[in-house]
Amino acid sequence: MKKAGKSIAYIAILIVVLLIGVVTYVTQALPNVGPPEDIKVEITPQRLERGKYLVRNVLQCVDCHSKRDWTKFGGPIDTTALGGGGELFDAAGAGFPGEVYVPNITPYKLAGWTDGELFRAITTGQRKSGDAIFPLMPWPYYSKLDRQDIYDVIAYIRSLKPVKADYPKSKLDFPLNIIVHTMPKQAQLGIRPDPKDTLKFGAYMVQASACMECHSQDDKGTLLPGLEFAGGRAFKINGGTVKSANITPDQATGIGNWTKEMFIAKFKSFKDSKTAVSVKPGDFQTIMPWYGYGGMSENELGAIYRYLKTLKPVNNAVVKFAAN
């Protein structure tokens, strides 16, 4: 019995040692997507124009990296401090497993970053410091975009007005604080299709806008198979829970009965954030960045609509908002 007890103790010690070794390796050696590229993005009027459009209307960089006024429907961003960061995601406010302040991405914080370091962060999820970026920022979607689009984004971010703002370092709960080190991956860049190829271009714009991420249910960060784009992902906001809409072409619960004109008109109705109405705690609210997407071109919105209509219809009724 004594020998058996010693054997069990030795095995337990060995397991602990192995676990410590694995955790040490993961936290010290990862992420490792390779060094940043030695690139220099030329800032031209064309890049700034395209970059502004991508950052403000498609990728929604400044929507996440700016403070939003949640007393108004749709949470319009503070346009006086674009990219200044500061939104807090935590357990109390957003049901988030940790405490994350959205970073400041204006030149005040990024002046010391090379273009290669910015490119690596946006497309692989690894910071200048080497730390992992939790995919609250949808870099897994940006990792498949055209290199030139990412260059345009970098050019525009460089042009933002510096906002002097600093925030505490992010904290993730265990074991997510260990797992996050394994998340960054090397980019698999794509090529932006010709807009005349409406279907392929629509698929590309859906990728750039990360539509699937919010419009799919997940289990601890992993999207549930078969429910892609079917909505139902829950977000805590304004004293309630809002769930994303079903955007598959299901006629009963999705956009199957929507025409292209209806789809475009829905977005264009939010073109001006100055028209945002006030909401009280407990009233219906949404995290959908309508005022950014409302500025997208009708051609691109039409292409998105065409792609969504090719998806498999999924019958999934969603209760959009429920007060707590």
Which pLDDT does position 32 carry in this prediction? Answer: 85
Res 54 pLDDT > 80: yes
Which pLDDT does position 8 carry in this prediction? Answer: 62
Average of per-residue pLDDT values in the chain: 91
| 138 contacts 210 by C-beta, under 8 angstroms | yes
* 288, 290, 293, 295 alpha-carbon torsion, rounded to 10°: -170
Per residue in 5-52, pLDDT (tens digit) is 656 655 556 565 555 555 555 566 657 899 999 999 999 999 999 999
Lowest-pLDDT range, 4-18, 137-151, 178-192, 203-217?
A: 4-18
Cα 249 from Cα 252, distance rounded (Å): 9
Res 108 pLDDT > 90: yes
Per residue in 141-152, pLDDT (tens digit) is 999 999 999 999
Which pLDDT does position 11 carry in this prediction? Answer: 59
Res 93 pLDDT > 60: yes
Cα 92 from Cα 90, distance rounded (Å): 6
Length of the chain: 324
Which pLDDT does position 7 carry in this prediction? Answer: 61
Cα 35 from Cα 93, distance rounded (Å): 36
Higher pLDDT, 237 or 221: 237
Q: Is the pTM of this model over 0.75?
A: yes
- Residues 6 or more apart whose CB falls under 8 angstroms from that of 162 comprise 106, 107, 108, 111
